[in-house]
């Protein structure tokens, strides 16, 4: 029997994408930006499958080999799941920091930040090489920590959902925003990360939880809508697929 779960997950993901695209504020230059971002989406969909599979293989290898720190500790299963998810989330935070602070990693990640606006399509705007970095980094994390394979799957599903929601050009009602941002990265918080200049670009690195930014002093609350996109990006580079793909090498 074919497992219906991947197809159901893909449909659910497409529905969330469509819903966010419908409720977003208009007037964000979609006609110019979306062809490029949606072209990168095709790569992203492939990457979205490759990334969890790559990291899952690392986690399954560790499980089969009895490898990993969490397996050496006498902990109840729910605690292992919770710590495993937190370890993946923390590692993902540090990966994002590294993508900004290490020269060659920034060249790859910069493609995501050259978008001249931020909306749900920006969530798919990544250079394909970033997937290789993610698999290496999070695969090593999952294997070393001994994160159960099922936890890896749940982690990637939540990251994908949070990635879509945090890029959407939506504003939560102020009361809801205040409550949600105590725990989660909201679109308002993530837009700060897409500011055109430092130091704001190096703030609000989290994807799902706001706590890592709080803990490591990288959280900044937005002071207003503010501009997005890198200020030194040649506009010709920002929305041409070919230019974006060679951007890390120039
Ligand atoms: Zn970034």
Reported as a single tens digit per residue, the pLDDT across 172-221 is 898 998 999 999 999 999 988 988 777 777 889 999 999 999 999 999 88
Going from the Cα of 97 to the center of ligand 1, the distance in angstroms, rounded, reads 8
Of the pLDDT bands very low, low, confident and very high (cuts 50, 70, 90), residue 166 is very high
Q: For residue range 9-49, what is the model confidence (pLDDT) as tens digits?
A: 778 888 888 888 888 876 567 777 887 777 777 766 666 66
Beta bridge pairs of residue 184 = 209
Burial of 68 (0-12, 13-18, 19+ CB in 10 A): buried
Q: Give me the residues paired with residue 209 across strands.
A: 184
Asked, for residue 20, whether it belongs to a domain, the answer is no
> What is the full DSSP assignment across 154-195?
HHHHHHHHHHHHHHSS----HHHHHHHTTTB--HHHHHHHT-
Within a domain: 203: yes
The answer to whether residue 67 sits within a structural domain is yes
Whether 6 is in a domain gets the answer: no
Q: State the distance from the centre of ligand 1 to the C-alpha of 71, rounded, in angstroms.
A: 33
- Residue 70 — pLDDT band, cuts 50, 70, 90? confident
Region 105-129: what's the mean pLDDT?
88
How confident is residue 250, by pLDDT bands cut at 50, 70 and 90? confident
Question: How far apart are alpha carbons 142 and 88 in whole angstroms?
Answer: 7
Q: How many domains does the chain have?
A: 1
Distance 96 CA to ligand 1 centre (A): 6
Tell how far the Cα of 197 is from the centroid of ligand 1, in angstroms. Answer: 12
Measured in Å, residue 16 CA sits from the centre of ligand 1 at: 22
In a domain, 186, yes or no: yes
Indicate whether 18 belongs to any domain: no
In a domain, 10, yes or no: no
Rounded distance between C-alpha atoms, residue 250 and residue 245, angstroms: 10
Shortest CA distance to 154 belongs to which of 90, 82, 250? 82
Prediction pTM value: 0.83
Instruction: Let me know if residue 9 belongs to a domain.
Output: no
Percent of residues, the chain, with pLDDT higher than 90: 36
Q: What is the domain range of residue 234?
A: 29-249
Instruction: Quote the radius of gyration of the chain (alpha carbons, Å).
Output: 18
């Amino acid at each position: 029997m074919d497992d219906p779960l991947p197809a159901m997950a893909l449909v659910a993901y497409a529905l969330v994408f469509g819903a966010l695209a419908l409720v977003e504020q208009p007037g964000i230059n979609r006609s110019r930006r979306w062809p490029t971002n949606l072209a990168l989406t095709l790569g992203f969909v492939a990457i979205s499958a490759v990334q969890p599979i790559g990291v899952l293989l690392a986690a399954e290898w560790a499980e089969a080999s009895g490898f990993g720190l969490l397996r050496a500790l006498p902990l109840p299963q729910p605690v292992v799941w919770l710590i495993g998810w937190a370890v993946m989330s923390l590692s993902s935070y540090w990966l994002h920091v590294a993508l900004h602070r290490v020269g060659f990693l920034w060249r790859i990640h910069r493609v995501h930040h050259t978008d001249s606006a931020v909306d749900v399509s920006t969530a798919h705007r990544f250079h394909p090489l970033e997937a290789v970095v993610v698999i290496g980094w999070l695969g090593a994390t999952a294997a070393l920590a001994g994160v159960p394979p099922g936890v890896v799957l749940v982690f990637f599903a939540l990251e994908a959902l949070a990635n879509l929601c945090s890029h959407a050009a939506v504003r939560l009602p102020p009361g809801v925003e205040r409550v949600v941002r105590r725990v989660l990265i909201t679109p308002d918080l993530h837009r700060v990360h897409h500011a055109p200049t430092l130091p704001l670009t190096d703030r609000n690195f989290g994807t799902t939880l706001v706590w890592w930014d709080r803990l490591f002093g990288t959280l900044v609350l937005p002071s207003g809508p503010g501009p997005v996109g890198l200020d030194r990006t040649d506009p010709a580079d920002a929305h041409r697929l070919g230019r974006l793909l060679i951007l890390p090498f120039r």
